């Protein structure tokens, strides 16, 4: 079938070394930077790199975490293609005991405790579980150093979700369904080690928010600065939270009359303008979501072909811009290429 997993992995293998190079170059580029602090007095604010010595690059914190995951994921999937990248040495110099202690301390500052929740937290937990499940000496060392902050995010999500009366549905960083989808693999990993609290919290919240949703407002997409589809990210999370036999009927009600042309390709008028550049991510993250949903539907379901055809159109519109484009695209877009092309069914 066109654009199936074998095709996607072949595309990623061809680009693996290039993507790792892009990821590490961006992760170690100090400026420009989108710095976050909430001062509570006149004490001078430290330099951003002093506060984030492990994740200082790639314009903002979550993008730097993403670029670490891109490199780790590709080193793991394609060791022969990426062996000469130098990425291991770069990551080893960044993920150190001292640097990770400083990263953790940032969240203890007043008003900083919920920073990057849920998007950055989800990507950090994605990086953490990638390392925790990789049988590799470097990965084991880095995994141990990420544990303290991963635990903080895990406990933070468990405490936060019961307070979140309503989900955030728009297509940027605060989107609740996508953040929890990112955290899901980590939650499953923790459940496999006897702690189901995060997994149960995510599943319960998702079902409570989304179970009765019908006729998703596809016509409202894309919005001006989306890099996520609010409609599709919800469906992906529900494909995980619901048993297989319950998901398909829910999906029937949620996206009736799904066809290849249901989701209109996003057009990017100016990739140097950061918010507009997000639309490249919308095309790629939609493609990822469509491949996930195609895998969750019963064998022979006629929507599978429509989803994969649409995923291919969306992917080919954005993949040429992952590297060699404007920095406002390059510093983050590879994460969605790898999420799509390197996804395991």
Q: How far is CA 167 from CA 14, 107, 118, 201, in A?
A: 38, 23, 11, 14
Q: What is the DSSP string of 97-117?
A: HHHHHHHHHHTTSTT-TTTTT
CATH of domain 5-341: 1.50.10
- Could you tell me the pTM of the whole model? 0.97
- Say what percent of the chain tops pLDDT 70: 99
What value does the mean pLDDT take over residues 42-62?
97
Whether the pLDDT of residue 244 is over 60: the answer is yes
Supply the pLDDT for residue 215: 97
Residue 142, Cβ density class (10 Å: 0-12 exposed, 13-18 middle, ≥19 buried): buried
- pLDDT-derived band at 261, boundaries 50, 70, 90: confident
Domain spans of the chain, in order of start: 5-341
Supply the pLDDT for residue 103: 98
């Amino acid at each position: 079938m066109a654009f199936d997993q074998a095709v996607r992995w072949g595309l990623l293998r061809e680009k693996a070394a290039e993507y790792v190079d892009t990821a590490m170059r961006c992760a170690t580029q100090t400026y420009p930077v989108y710095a976050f602090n909430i001062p509570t007095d006149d004490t001078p604010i430290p330099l951003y790199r002093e506060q984030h010595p492990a994740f200082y690059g790639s314009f903002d914190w979550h993008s730097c975490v993403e670029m670490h995951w891109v490199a780790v994921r590709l080193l793991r999937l394609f060791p022969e293609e990426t062996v000469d990248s130098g990425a291991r040495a770069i990551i080893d110099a960044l993920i150190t005991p001292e640097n990770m202690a400083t990263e953790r301390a940032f969240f203890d500052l007043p008003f900083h405790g919920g920073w990057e929740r849920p998007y950055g937290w989800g990507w950090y937990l994605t990086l953490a579980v990638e390392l925790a499940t990789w049988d590799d000496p470097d990965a084991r060392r880095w995994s141990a150093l990420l544990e303290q902050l991963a635990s903080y995010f895990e406990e933070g999500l468990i405490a936060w979700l019961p307070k979140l009366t309503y989900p955030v549905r728009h297509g940027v960083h605060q989107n609740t369904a996508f953040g929890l989808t990112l955290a899901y693999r980590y939650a499953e990993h923790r459940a496999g080690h006897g702690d189901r609290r995060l997994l149960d919290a995510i599943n319960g919240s998702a079902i409570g928010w989304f179970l009765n949703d019908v006729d998703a407002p596809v016509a409202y997409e894309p919005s001006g600065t989306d890099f996520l589809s609010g409609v599709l990210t919800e469906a992906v999370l529900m494909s995980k939270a619901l048993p297989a036999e319950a998901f398909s009927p829910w999906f029937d009600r949620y996206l009736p009359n799904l066809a290849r042309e249901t989701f209109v390709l996003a057009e990017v008028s100016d990739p140097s303008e950061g918010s507009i550049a997000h639309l490249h991510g919308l095309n790629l993250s939609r493609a990822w979501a469509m491949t996930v949903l195609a895998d969750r539907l019963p064998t022979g379901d006629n929507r599978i072909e429509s989803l994969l055809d649409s995923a291919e159109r969306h992917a080919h519109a954005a993949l040429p811009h992952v590297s060699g484009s404007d920095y406002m695209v390059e510093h983050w877009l590879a994460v969605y290429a790898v999420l799509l092309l390197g996804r395991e069914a």
